[in-house]
Amino acid sequence: MELLKIQMQLASQIPGNTMTAGALAKKLFGEKGLAGLYKGTIVTALRDVSFSCVYFPMVAKGVEHFHNEDDNRIQGFMKTLGVACVAGAAGSGLVTPFDVVKTRLQTITPGVNTVVYKNIPDTFSKIIKNEGFSALYKGCIPRMSVIAPLMSIAQSVYFIGVAESLFGVNDKY
């Protein structure tokens, strides 16, 4: 799905292009086979697993540090909101290089004078060589600006017990 999303975004920049996601998926499958639809899956997993390795321990430690037994439900909610926001920003910022590499690998139709990337190490090395190390962090601030509130909302919804209510689990607060 990430691959289709990126290709649809790139295709939208071409005047007169009316290709649908279904037509694009069919075209990709025809040209590159099933593997072509999953290009960038490994680096996507690296990005997501690395994010989780940063985010969840930060939330756990933050909750442990900032929450106390005297907190009422609103105080606990607000502290969770803040902790998750900081953890989401930190996690997404730290894994931005994987996101940049993923996007570059998933660019199937390069433009004029565009570098072609073969695999993850090749992409990292060409980005650093051609654009400098800081290029691995292109889009970092916008990415953090999206992921931080998203994770904050998700963690806070978990805190107030939406899932527990849906599945009939007793609330711990």
> Is this prediction's pTM over 0.95?
no
Per-residue pLDDT at 60 = 93
pLDDT band at 1 (very low <50, low <70, confident <90, very high): low
Q: Kindly give, in sequence order, each residue whose CB lies less than 8 Å from that of residue 32, ignoring residues fewer than 6 positions away.
A: 39, 108
Q: How far apart are CA 170 and CA 173, in angstroms?
A: 9
How many angstroms separate the most distant Cα atoms in the chain?
62
Summarize the confidence of residues 96-106 as an average pLDDT: 92
In the predicted model, is pLDDT for residue 125 greater than 80? yes
